[in-house]
Amino acid sequence: MKQELKYLPMLVLTALIWGAAFVAQSVGNEYVGPFTFNSVRSLLGGAVLLPLIPLLGRLSGNRREGDTPSDQKNLWVGGVLCGVILGLASSLQQWALQYAGVGKAGFITALYIVIVPVLGVFFHRRPGAKVWLAVAVALAGLYLLCWSGGSALGPGEWLLFGCSALFSIHILVIDHFSPLVDGVKLSCVQFFVAGVFCAVPSLLFEAPTLAGVLAAGWPIVYAGVFSCGVAYTLQVVAQKHVEPTLASLTLSLESVFSVLAGWLVLRQALTARELAGCCLVFCAIVLAQLPARKKA
C-alpha cells in the first residue's frame, strides 16, 4: 500500500497533463487545422518516445526482443491499425473542439471507458448488470450535458461521440496486440503512423504553412511532448507499481481536470445543468471501472 501511495501522484500528474491537453488542442485550432495539428503533434510524440524505448521497456518489465518475423509482423500490423484509428479519433476530437468547450469534450471522450465493455458483446463477453447501470447513468449525464432545450445535437457533440467510439475500438485493438509485442514500440509506431495518416488530409484540405505551425508551437509541443512523451512515461512507470483498478480510476480524473483547465485558462464555465451532467458521466466512468464481485 505504501508503494502504491508513492507512485499514485505520478498517475494524478498524468491525468492532469492529459486533461490540460484539451486546452492546448483548443488553442492550437486558432492557428492550424485539426489534421495539421494532429499530424505534427503525433510525429513529435513518436520522436520523443523513440529514444526512450530501451528505458521504458525495462521500466515496464517488457523483455520481448521482437526479433522473430512473427513479432515484427505483429508490431507493424498492430502499429498501423492503432495509428490509423488513433489518427481518426484524435482528428474528430480536434475538429469537435472548434464547436465544443474543453470540459464537455473531456467528459464525452472519456465515455470510451463505458463503451468498451458494451462492445464486448460482439466478442462474446457479456457485460454484467454493473456495466448496464453505468450506461444508464452515462446516458442521463449526457442528456444534461448535451441537450440544452434544442431539438438536435450540435456538430461538436456528434464529432465527440464518434471520437469516443473510435477510442473504444482503439482500446480493443491494443488489447489484442499488446500481449504480442513490446507495448512501448507499439505506441511509438502508432504515433508515427497517425502523424503520416493525418498529414494526407492536412495537405489536401488545410494547406498548412510553416508560419501557422510555428504560431501553434507551444500547444503542439505540449500536446506532443508532454501529453504523449512525458505522460506516457509516467503512466508506464507508475502502473508497474499500482493495482490496475486504482490506476484506471486515478487516470479517469483526466475528464475532471479538463473542466478545471478550461475554466482556469480559457474561462470556459459550465452551466449548473452541464456540471450536473459531468458529475453523472464521471460516476458512470467510475462505476464501469469498479471490479466485479467474485463468486466464492
pLDDT, tens only, 116-142: 888 877 777 777 788 888 889 988 988
Inter-residue contact 212 to 32 (CB < 8 Å): yes
> Cα separations (Å) of 32 from 91, 156, 213, 245, 267?
12, 18, 7, 38, 22
Residue 46: what pLDDT?
92
In this predicted structure, the answer to whether residue 45 has a pLDDT above a threshold of 70 is yes
Q: How far is CA 51 from the centre of its chain?
A: 22
- The pLDDT of 182-186, averaged and rounded, is 84
End-to-end CA distance of the chain: 25
The answer to whether the beta carbons of residues 108 and 159 sit under 8 Å apart is: no
Alpha helices by DSSP H, listed for 202-230, are 210-215, 217-221
pLDDT above 50 for 296: no
96 contacts 105 by C-beta, under 8 angstroms: yes
Q: In the structure, what pLDDT confidence band is assigned to residue 225 with cuts at 50, 70 and 90?
A: very high
- Does 233 have pLDDT greater than 60? yes
**pLDDT exceeds 80 at position 284:** yes
Residue 76 neighbours by CB under 8 Å, 6+ apart: 189
What confidence score (pLDDT) does residue 274 get?
87
Query: Is 143 a residue whose pLDDT tops 90?
Result: no
Rounded-to-integer distance, Cα 282 and Cα 137, Å = 9
Residue 71 has pLDDT above 50, yes or no: yes
Which of 29-33, 250-254, 256-260 is the least confident region? Answer: 250-254
Cα separations (Å) of 109 from 8, 89, 102, 106, 164? 23, 10, 10, 5, 5
Give CA separation, 72 vs 187, 189, 196, 266, in Å.
14, 12, 20, 44
Q: Cell match 462474446: residue?
A: 124
Residue 237 CB coordination number (10 Å): 18
Enter the pTM of the model: 0.86
